[in-house]
Structure 1
């Protein structure tokens, strides 16, 4: 029997009630009417409670017993469920996993571990020894949730000496290409406002997004793909995050032309077929690419403007970074060199002359060759570009909106981290948050230079 030494200081925050079992099961498998089995960790004292040290000690002792039966097995394989790609693919399922118990402290420990692996809480196993952490991380089938095992594994990694710097590692490559620096900046918080409008939209990619793009750069590099394809997809994803997961971007199929006829935009037929294939395929259910982003960007209201010419590459990435990734063929030579495309060649514009706004309902019009707002447009709070006729509408920012540094007054060619949406910050009398009509992208996406 392995001897397990408990560090009381590491667990003193917990004082669980010893009246329930701690087998880790998904929440959905426990029905409200199910009988709760008696706790197997000790017997009740006069006060009816045990310290968390006692329960964790017994859990570790039992984990040590199970470890003895695994002598000779490949320890690395025991970590596959918490370190491999499938862990990230099934992150939502792991986040929903809780111990099958009504013990508030054991539940709190599991919640804290889930918060830690998602970057919003501290590690509940901080302070345990390496041997104790190894028992938890390797205890496949034991009482610990996958997120608790992951938290123990990450604490183990934090004890390791720093690895030698790798100048060409895929993480460094991602940081260099997306942020133009040697160090990774913190995650910026949406919504889009005039104060943060000039920030590099890639700053708004969260931790999981960045991990995905690091792996995507590595895969693209291995396959001989021009990395600008990944740059362009990351920029589109960053814009989506920057604009509150697209909620601040108005749909592109709600507009009218100068003659007040209804105008809609769609993908070209080849791209429409790919979009349908992705949305209705099986890979979307397990891909690491945010499903909300995919459903947003593959809808013509938004994707017809935002993902110009990038749908074929996006489909390959959806499939590769899913549970079906091992079945995917190598990427073809069509991605070896990034080729700039004409927006007009990738968007189908349709003017419906059966639908026309009466003059009194029009928000804008042309007078002497210059676009301007009607009284109705002005009353609705729109602003307009007098050259292009593209309109935007303000929206109030949240009360707790932070004020990140701004570079609004910097010249266009010298402002740091400018991107394809920088021009959005150049309008006079800007509101704190703005709704942007995707028609801006006809002009702004041209600013993306690989």
Structure 2
């Protein structure tokens, strides 16, 4: 995604909400979530509302596929940074009045209502209109700069993505602690993180170190046992730090490191 993001570019995705992802495997269907996400429209969301959003997401998916095929990984990473600059921090604050007055170029009441809800949410009023939406759909909205979605809608999608991502990280960290205490290993952690990474769209993957997948695969193959290869006095603290780095995609793990053993022991 969503996206485990590295501490440099992608971690800004998570800084907005303070807490991050519900499931490790995002829904890859670019259409509307089959379980109907919660939001200001509630469970009574009518068919026209659902079809409108589904149509927008489908078109955004086509644009995203074309973009991802056209741009290099480095260019996608730069594009993501530009997105964060637009949707958060000083740039967003300076232009807040402009973004709050933005409305869809349409007389469709569904589009107008959702944009209004997003603006209210970004001002601390009401619920996020994209609450509960799958991560891949949130990413489609966040990185779509076509004007289909207002800036406040994209920011709301980014915040929901950050919230879900943090929740996922918390879950995986707890599982990793149990795995380590039970077996002395973190191999399942690496497998879960790799599965999560492979499920992210290219624009989110581009925010990770280029050797992220290769390193994870190597650590999985190593199947390292920390009980027999780490100083016992520093075991718990070192492991906690290492798990945190892995989950957040800390770039220090992906520079001149050949095994997780070296990272834990430092």
Question: With structure 1 as the length reference, what TM-score do the two structures score?
Answer: 0.27
Compare the two structures and name the one with the higher strand fraction: 1
Write 1 or 2 for the structure with the bigger share of helix: 2
Which structure has more relative contact order (CA 8 Å, sep 6+)? It is: 2
Which has the larger Rg?
1
TM-score normalised by structure 2 residue count? 0.45
